[in-house]
Amino acid sequence: MDFFDLVVHAGYPLRRWVRLEVDGQGLVPASGPLIVVANHDSMIDPLAVAAACHPMRELRFLAMAELWNNRILRFVLDRLGQIPTERGGGGQPALRQAIRALENSEAIGIFPEGKLSRGRKLQAHHGLAQLTAACPEVPILLAAVNGTTDVARFPKRPRAKVVLMRPAANPNQAPQRLLDEIRALAPPVPAGRRR
């Protein structure tokens, strides 16, 4: 069992508590490069998307570099092969690393909104467009994530769902359209104890 499997298995109690349901897991290819594009309403979203694609694939996410400021989290993220990206236009090194990973037939997860939605409709950032332009033949899966914002509403037991689907839009031309397809199934929801 590798470190990724260990972390996914350690997260089983959380997945069971949130009643994670996955639709479309059969679309996840067992090998070859892959880009998984997801909405981002909760800090739990990467865990939900990774669990949805497991055991078929291990995902390497582009994640905000600030997460590496915590020593324990840095150790875990590095062992999982996650890719730190700087905000504010400094993400080119992360994109180059993601492109190299795709060239090595790895699976990359990306949140085109670039940050938590906080319940607002956001535009897709340029990173997804650059990634698909650099790797136009790489298959793309969309991941619509719902219910993860309810994790903060303990003791209410949440019900999370990840729907994996192939994009209808041409991913090489319209990253915003990919995000719109996802948001049609997973409208922006603010995280936290509100409601």
Give percent above pLDDT 70 in the chain.
91
Give yes or no for residue 39 having a pLDDT over 90.
yes
CB count within 10 Å of CB 158 equals 19
Q: Which residue has the higher pLDDT, 155 or 147?
A: 147
Give, in words, the CATH class of 3-185.
Answer: alpha beta
Average pLDDT over residues 112-137: 89
Distance CA 59, CA 131 (A): 15
pLDDT tens-digit readout, 12-29 = 777 778 889 999 999 999
Q: What is the pLDDT of residue 171?
A: 65
Domain boundaries, the chain: 3-185
Specify the range with the lowest mean pLDDT, choosing from 14-18, 35-39, 155-159. Answer: 14-18
Contacts of 169 by beta carbon, 8 Å cutoff, 6+ apart: 177, 178, 180, 181
Average pLDDT over residues 143-154: 89
